[in-house]
Amino acid sequence: MRASPRQVGGTEMPAMSSRGGSRRRTINEINMVPFIDVMLVLLIIFMVSAPLITTGVVDLPSVGRSKAQPAHVVHITVGTDERLKLKVDEGDESSVVLKSLAERVKAAQNGEDTTPVVISADKAVKYEAVVKVMDILQTAGVQRVGLAVRNSGAAAPAL
């Protein structure tokens, strides 16, 4: 038996391409060196520029720092039915209409613009009702308006 030109020693040889010469092997890998170089340059840029960036300082309010309550406080209570009650210091609560709220608060402040006004509202009250009260006080020129909140440490009511 005579061996065919493609068989040498009983095994087949790979066919040669017609482009003349050897067969090229494709590269299935991505060269990572340029990628790593770019990332290192970016890292250096960020490391150099980070200390140069100045951050804005914001003075945030804190809760619970005040040990002494002010001597004169005006309390406004918004009920679940959105009715308003006005209480000056530890006096009796009196009902007030939204239209006359600004006049009554100004009278309760006795001409002192720094007298704080605290708004208390039930959690079932619409946010819009509280915002209306705050808006009326702001338009009347009341400077110190705050919202009363329950401390998170207080026990929650049982359902």
- pLDDT computed for residue 19 by the predictor: 56
DSSP the chain: -PPPTTEETTEEPPPPBTTTBPPPPPP-----HHHHHHHHHHHHHHHHHGGGPPPPP-----SS---S--SS-EEEEE-TT--EEEEETTS--EEE-GGGHHHHHHHHHTT-TT--EEEEE-TTS-HHHHHHHHHHHHHHT---EEE----TTSPPPP-
pLDDT digits (tens, 9 = 90+) for 124-147: 888 888 889 888 888 888 888 888
pLDDT digits (tens, 9 = 90+) for 49-74: 988 887 666 565 566 655 666 778 88
Q: Domains in the chain, please, with CATH? A: 74-147 (3.30.420.270)
Average pLDDT over residues 5-21: 54
pTM: 0.52
